[in-house]
Structure 1
Amino acid sequence: MGGVADEKLLTKIADAFKELATFVNSQNADVEVASFSRACSLVSPLFGCLGIAFKFAEKDYVAKVHDLAEASKSIQTLESLIDLDVQANTVRKAGSHTRNLLRVKRGLDMVRVLFEQIIVTDGNSLKDPASKAYAQVFAPYHGWAVRKAVSAGMYALPTKQQLLRKLNEDESSAKVQMQHYVTASAPLILYVDKLFSSRELGIDW
């Protein structure tokens, strides 16, 4: 990532998702795989900043965003990406683009809940915000062993101040950018959910 400090990562993330949200909200056109995967890749370093508790998410998320970026070389839109898997009957197959899209969407949702919780939680600990985000988004899909490992890792989370230092932000500027992401990511996450539900694929797998 080189020089996160110079680049104000939270601002870049917020700007990229605001752009996608504007697109989703104002047009009937389909979201491009390339612009979606580019915005998602900006989120990747955040998982690394959260330490061992989210190591599973970092590895999983980064690999799946990379897959979508590769797919964007030959597939134009998220809609056609899912339709190709539907036609090939590979939607739920491990490693399919559609399955990876669902996993990436979950990563975006976890960050959205995490930011929401950081904004409203006083104090310097990230344990409550991170625990709530994990419980809401990932825990329902994880077995006991993974949940236990994540729970143990929560004690090694950075403090809010340490996270902000890594991101080169002060608290007020960070909260502004986090709120931008929360607001902008919501319609995008809903858009992806609708792509699944309109094809009766469900999102709970």
Structure 2
Amino acid sequence: MANAESDKTLRKIAEALKELAATVNSQTADMEVAPFSRACSFVSPLFGCLGIAFKFEEMDYVAKVDDLAEASKSIVTLNAMIDGDIERNCVRKAGCHTRNLLRVKRGLDMIRVLFEKILATEGNSLRDPASKAYAQVFAPHRGWAIRKAVAAGMYALPTRAQLMKKLNEDEASARIQMQNYVAASGTVILYIDKLFLSRELGTDW
């Protein structure tokens, strides 16, 4: 049973995001890069579970999270990381930590919207929830070729039952953890948006 418990991907993700949300809600500490990147790394397998449609997003997300994990060795907080990039005038450059943070936040948001749609729909197909989540979060920032490949890949999505099996969850436990993730990630995403907006960087790039 220990193996099954340790493999509870959804619970692990939800718990990690709840801890980040607690940091935000305490309003006493800046969010640190290390626990943020660690929590985000737990989300990576979810993209893998969605199959070929999200292969590009999985690779992109993992690379950006890895960069933030590396940055955490020398930079303590997200605030300090963004301010350092502003000083170096590299915020929007490819490979820049702040740009990568925005991409990672988008990944968290995609999963949040996906879970919201799954919780709100009946049936075994994930095509509608996944298509809507992709259209809302990623599509505005992707070129035509990637969007076309994703649309084709949507036909190869796992069913809801297959996803639950991959995540080692039943429907009841999965719903609880998805709801926990939606609530906690919403707090974290809002926090990151404020980091960008307070510096007049915008988030739509």
With the shorter chain as reference, the TM-score category is over 0.9
Q: Distance in 1 between matches of 2:6 and 2:109?
A: 26
Give the 4+ runs in structure 1 shifted more than 3 A.
3-6
Q: How big is each residue's C-alpha offset from its partner over 1:101-144, in whole Å with a ceiling of 9 and x where there is no partner? A: 00000000000000001111100000001001000000001111
Partner of 2:182: 182
Report how far residue 6 of structure 1 moved.
3.8
**Is residue 45 of structure 2 the alignment partner of residue 52 of structure 1?**
no
Partner of 2:138: 138
Q: Distance in 1 between matches of 2:5 and 2:137?
A: 29
Partner of 2:96: 96
Asked whether the 8 Å contact 1:5–1:167 carries over to 2, the reply is no
Label 1:4 to 1:192 Cα distance change in 2 as closer, same or farther (>3 A).
farther
Q: Distance in 1 between matches of 2:201 and 2:4?
A: 38
Amino acid at match of 2:124: N
Partner of 2:62: 62
Q: How does 1:117-156 map to 2 (within 5 A)?
A: 117-156=117-156
Q: How does 1:77-92 map to 2 (within 5 A)?
A: 77-92=77-92
Report how far residue 23 of structure 1 moved.
1.1
Mark the runs of 5 or more structure 2 residues left unpaired by the alignment.
Answer: none
Q: How big is each residue's C-alpha offset from its partner over 1:48-79, in whole Å with a ceiling of 9 and x where there is no partner? A: 00000000110000000000000000000000
Q: Distance in 2 between matches of 1:91 and 1:28?
A: 26
Matched-pair identity in %: 74
Amino acid at match of 1:179: Q
TM-score by length of 1: 0.97
Asked whether the 8 Å contact 1:116–1:182 carries over to 2, the reply is yes
Let me know the Cα RMSD of the aligned residues.
1.0
Mark the runs of 5 or more structure 1 residues left unpaired by the alignment.
Answer: none
Partner of 1:17: 17
Q: Distance in 2 between matches of 1:41 and 1:173?
A: 22
Q: How does 1:23-38 map to 2 (within 5 A)?
A: 23-38=23-38
TM-score by length of 2: 0.97
Asked whether the 8 Å contact 1:4–1:167 carries over to 2, the reply is no
